[in-house]
């Protein structure tokens, strides 16, 4: 595979990653993954170009780009056109996307570890309507009824629960490995652009 081919494949790998897509939606709204997808092939696009390609309102393209810029993902440059007016062109910093997703995955692992430690040697209770999860002492204080909806609290099978948490942790570790590998090999074309 030539260099551009490899680069496009890496970008595709990023966009096929569910955690990444969710993260982009979370920080910049539902159009964000679609915009990033365009940059899998194209580069240096104006908001109008993007709006035409996606058949999405220009206002939502602009606000999404601004949210992405706020996180250092979307970078712009101003270019004077024939009428002596400034036009904006945008580029995507793929490395930044990966760095931010890596941060959230590391946070995610920390939380999972905390949950695993908490539940390791204790009975845990949960509301069937998912209002709360509580250790034995707290559940007993509530008289084993959900303080929010009044349903009887049920005991969590901690063994299955912990092994499912551990599985999630393993998946996060695998994802981190994959993303680090992409991070090492991907190059951005953002020189001359303002990213922060
Ligand atoms: Zn409840």
In the chain, domain spans? 3-93, 99-177
Residue 3 pLDDT: 65
Give mean pLDDT in consecutive 10-residue pieces for the chain, a chain of 196 residues: 70 86 96 92 92 97 97 96 93 95 96 90 88 92 96 89 93 94 89 92
Cβ atoms 158, 119 nearer than 8 A: yes
Tell me how far the alpha carbon of residue 141 lies from the centroid of ligand 1, in angstroms.
Answer: 15
Q: Could you identify the residue written with the tokens 């941060």?
A: 103
Tell me how far the alpha carbon of residue 139 lies from the centroid of ligand 1, in angstroms.
Answer: 12
Residue 12 pLDDT: 83
Tell me how far the alpha carbon of residue 160 lies from the centroid of ligand 1, in angstroms.
Answer: 22
CA distance 54 to 130: 38
CATH fold label, 3-93 = Arc Repressor Mutant, subunit A (1.10.10)
Cβ atoms 90, 192 nearer than 8 A: no
- Around ion ligand 1, which residues have CB less than 5 A away? 127, 129, 131, 146, 148-149
Tokens of 121: 């040697």
Tell me how far the alpha carbon of residue 136 lies from the centroid of ligand 1, in angstroms.
Answer: 16
This prediction has a pTM of 0.80
Cβ atoms 93, 186 nearer than 8 A: no
């Amino acid at each position: 595979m030539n260099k551009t081919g490899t680069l496009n494949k890496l970008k595709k790998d990023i966009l096929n990653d569910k955690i990444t897509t969710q993260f982009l939606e979370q920080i910049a709204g539902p159009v964000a993954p679609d915009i990033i997808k365009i940059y899998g092939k194209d580069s240096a696009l104006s908001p109008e170009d993007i709006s035409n390609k996606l058949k999405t309102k220009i206002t939502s393209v602009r606000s999404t780009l601004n949210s992405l810029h706020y996180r250092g993902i979307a970078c712009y440059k101003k270019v004077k056109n024939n009428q002596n007016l400034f036009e904006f062109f945008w580029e995507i910093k793929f490395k930044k996307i990966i760095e931010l997703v890596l941060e959230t995955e590391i946070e995610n692992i920390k939380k999972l570890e905390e949950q695993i430690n908490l539940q390791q040697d204790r009975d845990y209770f949960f509301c069937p309507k998912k209002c709360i999860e509580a250790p034995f002492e707290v559940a007993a204080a509530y008289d084993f009824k959900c303080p929010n909806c009044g349903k009887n609290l049920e005991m969590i099978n901690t063994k299955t629960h912990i092994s499912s948490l551990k599985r999630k942790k393993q998946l996060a570790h695998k994802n981190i490995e994959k993303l680090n590998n992409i991070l090492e090999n991907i190059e951005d074309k953002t020189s001359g652009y303002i990213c922060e």
